């Protein structure tokens, strides 16, 4: 999962969960989980907490892509980039600083240290909940049975949570050296002089931002007409403007025709006839479900393009099988996996559960500037409601944003004379504001209700309050 959230674990518990591996039980477990990433381990922890017996099977390390090869290490990389930028730009804040260089060994040690501490904490949680953890590559062999390491584990229910892999482009071969995916990019032991990034979504923009901070000459190639194309168009345009200021190059609305090695790097040719050359190419065109050859179809599970299809309660067409996370066609975000895993565990424990409203899930791109949103885009809102009202509050009117020297905006979308149905933000650190935006959307708040809340000064959170004041017809630090 790309986008982005650390697992809620305690650090400092160093016991290895390998010590807790036991042999196959003689009686069925309440729940057998295939895959120990965000969705799988969240389900395991919650189910065990509710008194269910759990077998958790993971072929690599518990924590999955997010913890080891995605959310956590990429954000550590971005923070190193932020420190580099601050060193370069100290003088504009009256502090004489300079950047001596980027030590990739040091960056990787910092990044890996963060991952290691969280991993140890997660291992401790798994052990403390008495979860039967099995390390090995599992396969579904019946609607209630998973085979791993030559043994079978039977459960009253099976949860599929095998996650996703980095997609490539047909005809573009990853060699792990000059043409790489996002997981290989996290292991680079050097700062390349130049890079071409194929894909201008969340993953592509985050790597472009981090690498530019490290001094890399970056060009993004995106086949659609905007960067982060799933966001509101206004947010995409603000990010594009910011990237131009940072001298991050991008080519929009054009597709790749070929990628070939040159004497000094790689050449990317586009269908419009343009060519680009760089030392390396990062393929960041999204992620696909890991489901092939795992026995899902043989067990009768309905599939579509490799995804496992589920109902609103994450249950497949086979009553004893559920699926969560990147394996199903919902938002590929770690926190969505957490939510889906918890939902399944509570459903199996007999608790009342409410389906997830995926529009109400917060989304963040951790570039500089950040892009954060919840709810509907303006296009989606007009399609659903017809007439809507919008308001854009420029961060130029926000004192804290001026102190940080960031630019951007908060855009609100409301149903005509109704609640706020979309909040879209661009600017440094706005990802920290999206939790309040999530409450506004999910509680169907009216602009007047949010305007009545007093936000602390000076904070960037005031921008949310000021935007709602303006939308309620009583602007303060904004033109009416």
The Cα–Cα gap between 322 and 308 comes to 9
Please give the torsion angle defined by the CA atoms of residues 359, 361, 366 and 369, in that order, rounded to the nearest 10 degrees: 50
The Cα–Cα gap between 479 and 467 comes to 11
Phi/psi zone of residue 63: left (φ > 0), alpha (ψ -120 to 50 degrees), beta?
A: left
SS3 336: helix
The DSSP H or E segment spanning 299 is none
The pairing of strands 363-365 and 164-166 is unpaired
Backbone torsions φ then ψ of 128, nearest 5 degrees: -65, -25
Q: Do 296 and 290 form a contact (C-beta atoms < 8 A)?
A: no
Residue of 36, 30, 35 whose CA lies nearest to 51: 30
Please give the torsion angle defined by the CA atoms of residues 449, 454, 458 and 462, in that order, rounded to the nearest 10 degrees: 0
In angstroms, the first-to-last Cα distance of the chain is 42
Catalytic residue check, 457: yes
Q: Which residues are annotated as a binding site for FAD?
A: 75, 138, 162-164, 326
Q: Which residues are annotated as a binding site for NAD(+)?
A: 199-206, 222, 286
Q: Which one from 20, 157, 457, 477 is the annotated catalytic residue?
A: 457
Structure tokens at 236: 């995409």
Structure tokens at 171: 């005809």
Structure tokens at 371: 């892009």
Structure tokens at 305: 């393009």
The catalytic site residues sit at 457
């Amino acid at each position: 999962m790309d986008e982005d959230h650390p697992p809620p674990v305690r650090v400092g518990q160093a016991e290895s969960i390998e010590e807790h591996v036991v042999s196959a039980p003689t009686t069925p477990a309440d729940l057998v989980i295939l895959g120990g990433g965000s969705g799988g381990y969240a389900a395991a922890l919650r189910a065990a907490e509710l008194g269910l017996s759990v077998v958790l099977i993971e072929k690599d390390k518990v924590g999955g892509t997010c913890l080891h090869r995605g959310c956590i290490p990429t954000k550590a990389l971005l923070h190193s980039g932020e420190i580099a930028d601050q060193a370069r730009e100290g003088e504009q804040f009256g502090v004489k600083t300079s950047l001596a260089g980027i030590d990739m060994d040091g960056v990787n040690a910092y990044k890996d240290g963060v991952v290691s501490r969280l991993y140890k904490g997660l291992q401790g949680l798994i052990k403390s909940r008495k979860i039967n953890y099995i390390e090995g590559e599992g396969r579904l062999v019946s609607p209630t049975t998973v085979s791993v390491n030559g043994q079978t584990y039977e459960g009253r229910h099976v949860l599929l949570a095998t996650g996703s892999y980095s997609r490539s482009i047909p005809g573009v071969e990853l060699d792990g050296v000059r043409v790489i995916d996002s997981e290989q990019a996290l292991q680079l032991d050097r700062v390349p002089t130049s890079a071409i990034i194929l894909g201008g979504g969340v993953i592509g923009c985050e790597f472009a931002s981090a690498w530019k901070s490290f001094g890399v000459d970056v060009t993004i190639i995106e086949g659609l007409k905007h960067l982060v194309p799933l966001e509101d168009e206004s947010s995409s345009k603000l990010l594009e403007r910011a990237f131009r200021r940072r001298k991050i190059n991008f080519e929009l609305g054009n597709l790749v025709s070929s990628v070939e090695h040159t004497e000094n790097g790689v050449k990317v040719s586009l269908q419009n006839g343009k060519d680009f050359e760089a030392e390396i190419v990062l393929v960041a065109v999204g992620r696909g479900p890991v489901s092939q050859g795992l026995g899902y179809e043989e067990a009768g599970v309905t599939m579509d393009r490799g995804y496992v299809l589920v109902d609103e309660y994450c249950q497949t067409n086979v009553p004893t099988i559920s699926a969560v996370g990147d394996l199903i066609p919902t938002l590929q975000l770690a926190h969505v996996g957490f939510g889906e895993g918890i939902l399944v565990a509570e459903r199996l424990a007999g608790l009342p559960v409410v389906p997830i409203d995926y529009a109400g899930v917060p989304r963040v791109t951790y570039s500089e500037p950040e892009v954060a949103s919840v709810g509907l885009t303006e296009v989606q809102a007009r399609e659903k409601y017809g007439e809507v009202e919008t308001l854009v509050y420029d961060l130029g009117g926000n004192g804290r944003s001026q102190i940080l020297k960031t630019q951007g905006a908060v855009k609100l979308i409301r149903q005509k004379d109704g609640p706020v149905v979309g909040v879209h933000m661009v600017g440094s650190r706005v990802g920290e504001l999206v939790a309040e935006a999530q409450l506004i959307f999910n509680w169907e708040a009216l602009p007047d209700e949010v305007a009545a809340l007093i936000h602390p000064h000076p904070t960037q959170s005031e921008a949310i309050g000021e935007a709602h004041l303006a939308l309620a017809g009583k602007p303060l630090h904004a033109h009416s």
